Structure 1
């Protein structure tokens, strides 16, 4: 008898497996083909390091970051897989599923070696500003050479699914929305304080945008910036007044409070709002207005809303990642996220939308601060390097005009001069690389010849390779030592392939997403393929990432 019971259980187990194989569950459209949310919301928090979630966790409310983490899927080891980690490339990569080497946005600005001029990633002289007379409205995604996931949704739905992009920064609105967007809106401060767009999208601002611009909402944020809670409770950040922050013109120190109305005229007019958490609040106000104004998520055809919170970047650049100001900005952003989620629940319906939150890059601790606590770090002067490099090349090749441009940590050769030489460009690249590796603060150097002929898998080398565009990038790529930057001695910046710049949050939430977390390494280029798979639409045409099935229900 005792042998019979285990045999019985084994028989039942095999029978059950056979039944599952021969009688699979019925086909379920949402589980097996697409989740079909009414709206996809892509949220990018500019310059958000992953540790801002954990560092400020005890100060967050229950309806913002904590709600996303506890009820969504938190990918805790998410990284950018390319260099440089800037805003333009970051937004393009999130929504295209590709790195700069593929989508072509190799920086915020870069040197165009064919036209011999600097270009801005979304500047478009062929379009006209709408909502302003200023050239700040002459923007489009024409330099992005791939589609975005929002583009693919538009194509898949025969242009019936809407796409609206919103950000204070033009590039944060334009690049995520893609080529086929119904509209992208960005904020023009200075003496106007308006949300604007370009003729790439429309010839006139819709009534709801005109109404918002006339509402006085922007002026309402010209008020004192004080801490949300008692500043003495902000123990997760450094002292309030220190030597590592930039501050505002017209104010002697970098301590709270900041009277924005008084400081406005000396700090770019309405642009001062961008450099405070109120810029994020204004963005949230406008995004909520867009839900109604554009009737997003009102039918069964999936729409896209892309929202980029830019003020976190402005505050980080000004005050640094360890400042009281950055902590207060994130505590206030937490409230703005709660407002956005509440509006989505009310206007689209809880369970009817899918949202993801990520960043476009991280940020480094202020090197001057790191030096004060004896952590290796420092500053790099590219002008000094250019002088010494030209002197070296003049002595080596009797030609001081071989370098045409140095920008974005890249050296561009002057090929008109190279053709006059009896040596190859490859030999010149090698000589430059050898010279640079003797230079203080430079960690590694890659030549065009190396990047075009090798397949790198090691992290930094692979990141350089992924960010290298054969047509748009330079001939020598320079990697500085960790925490060495070319920037002022106050405030934080970004751009490297080190963890402080690459480790970014990634949270999926809402329809089709299960609750959970993972320490499995994921990459920023995985986001767009994941949303595409969720919707059952084609991947963006240049996507190299993979769908993250671990975040999906069933």
Structure 2
């Protein structure tokens, strides 16, 4: 049988079309070689733009210029603390479900105080200090990193990196290849035998470089002439906290002297972020991340922004300089990933665990309402009142995470005590105190006059085994803490409005002003990877991102 040239051409064109179709499907279903989750500690959303003109092309500007920004991303739980935020980002859940209700909490059954990643059953690896007695066992839900492991039959490699133990351990989940954090005592990255019995050789080699000592061997001067820091207040302010060896919180900061006096002071400098991202590069090389038959995942927490923010406050030159230096470090890190994994082959997202309030004295100087809530007299005065009313001393054990912890064992032992009556007296007392706007009996929150979204945020943060029964909501600008520097933890936009930017694999440049939530991050990643959401996830995929990821060729 003779086949015409036209028929042959048609067959060839048809075969090409089929091959292109298969190629398109393959591209749509292809997975990124590496996911990098970057959580910048205490990064308020407005820092993306406050210092934008001073950022270089390859860091935050690159993320906004190439990536997709969810401009209105909010935390939907209380309190807005570090361990809670990291757990929520990676579980897509809320403290009521994932169980991490604070950096520490009081067990309501036993009365014992627990640190969030404390584990008495494990031993340190790379250290002899208690800093290594840590694991993710207190986290009650799976993470997106766990789900990636499950989806690939544990072929994916997952690694967590941070100066902070909690910010390395909780994001990496229950099943990682490793989680590493800094031990100030020996200036080395360490882990626990939950993960391994000996540090990998690449970690030992990194620690042998003594990079912390090198980074702290010179004074900290601003990157640029100090007069150009126009987004910040003057260098010397009464609301900024000095280092231990300083008489005033001003540049230049004598880091060699500071570090000799306080081994933990590296954390409170921008060079802690440099160290973290250098270690992250070593982790990529050491585990050969991004060169797998399946997707790998690296979680990074840049924690020094939090330490510097706490000490100096958001309007300080120190905070501005820290972000300008972080921008340079991120630029170098992205260039490293471009070369190691390949531009377009990795997916990176950047967010924060919480924001921060302005310093109280800064606010007062500009006639804005602010103050310290829950001063030292509040709890003794409350206990005196409760004793007068009910005849029993010490009914309140502590104020913690803006919750009131009662002595439940003592209350249970006194059968004549009415816990509801005790809580009512407590609430009535607290709402009369300066700077406290609401006090809520959480188990009766439906009858409270607290408006939304605060009411839902309280419920999302309430775990009956790990939180007190009454929660305190300060007035805007008020917080529990110190008049020096700042802190976070409340429902206000300065604490809960966080950046969320995706960049890289199948991400189209753009932004949305629709409301998104911290819980949506894990759900979005699960949708992009076509894997199951974490088992406590309450978030929803950001469709503006997932639709692009599922259709881009």
**C-alpha separation between the residues in 1 aligned to 2:451 and 2:318?**
38
Tell me whether 1:441 sits opposite 2:401 in the alignment: no
Of 407, 412, 426, the residue aligned with 1:414 is 407
Aligned to 2:150: 155
Aligned to 1:482: 476
SS in 2 for 1:273: helix
Deviates most, 375-384 or 90-99: 375-384
SS in 2 for 1:186: strand
**C-alpha separation between the residues in 2 aligned to 1:165 and 1:528?**
16
Size of the aligned set, in residue pairs, is: 526
Does structure 1 retain, via aligned residues, the 8 Å contact 2:108–2:464? Answer: no
Could you tell me the TM-score, scaled by structure 2's length? 0.92
In the TM superposition, 1:118-517 aligns within 5 A as: 118-190=113-185, 192-222=186-216, 223-266=218-261, 268-269=262-263, 271-419=264-412, 420-451=414-445, 458-517=452-511
**C-alpha separation between the residues in 1 aligned to 2:247 and 2:450?**
49
Of 528, 532, 545, the residue aligned with 2:526 is 532
1:216–1:417 distance in 2 versus 1, CA, 3 Å: closer
Does structure 1 retain, via aligned residues, the 8 Å contact 2:379–2:398? Answer: no
CA positional deviation for 1:540: 0.3
1:528–1:454 distance in 2 versus 1, CA, 3 Å: farther
**C-alpha separation between the residues in 1 aligned to 2:458 and 2:386?**
25
SS in 2 for 1:426: helix
CA positional deviation for 1:35: 4.6
Cα-to-partner distance string for 1:2-54 (whole Å, 9 max, x where unaligned): xxxxxxxxxxxxxxxxxxxxxxx96854676x451011100000000011111
**C-alpha separation between the residues in 2 aligned to 1:63 and 1:262?**
33
1:497–1:30 distance in 2 versus 1, CA, 3 Å: farther
SS in 2 for 1:401: coil
Does structure 1 retain, via aligned residues, the 8 Å contact 2:82–2:103? Answer: yes
Could you tell me the TM-score, scaled by structure 1's length? 0.92
CA positional deviation for 1:80: 0.4
**C-alpha separation between the residues in 1 aligned to 2:543 and 2:144?**
17
**C-alpha separation between the residues in 1 aligned to 2:36 and 2:26?**
18
**C-alpha separation between the residues in 2 aligned to 1:116 and 1:470?**
13
Deviates most, 53-62 or 447-456: 447-456
SS in 2 for 1:262: helix
Does structure 1 retain, via aligned residues, the 8 Å contact 2:273–2:304? Answer: yes
SS in 2 for 1:151: helix
**C-alpha separation between the residues in 2 aligned to 1:550 and 1:94?**
19
Aligned to 1:84: 79
CA positional deviation for 1:150: 0.3
In the TM superposition, 1:64-103 aligns within 5 A as: 64-103=59-98
**C-alpha separation between the residues in 2 aligned to 1:371 and 1:44?**
31
Does structure 1 retain, via aligned residues, the 8 Å contact 2:438–2:450? Answer: no
CA positional deviation for 1:58: 0.4
CA positional deviation for 1:471: 1.9
Q: CA RMSD in A?
A: 1.8
1:455–1:29 distance in 2 versus 1, CA, 3 Å: farther
Gaps of 5+ in 1: 1-24
Of 496, 514, 520, the residue aligned with 2:514 is 520
Cα-to-partner distance string for 1:183-211 (whole Å, 9 max, x where unaligned): 00001123x11011110100000000000
**C-alpha separation between the residues in 2 aligned to 1:225 and 1:116?**
44
SS in 2 for 1:76: strand
1:535–1:370 distance in 2 versus 1, CA, 3 Å: same
Does structure 2 retain, via aligned residues, the 8 Å contact 1:176–1:306? Answer: yes
SS in 1 for 2:176: coil
Cα-to-partner distance string for 1:367-389 (whole Å, 9 max, x where unaligned): 11111111000012443111111
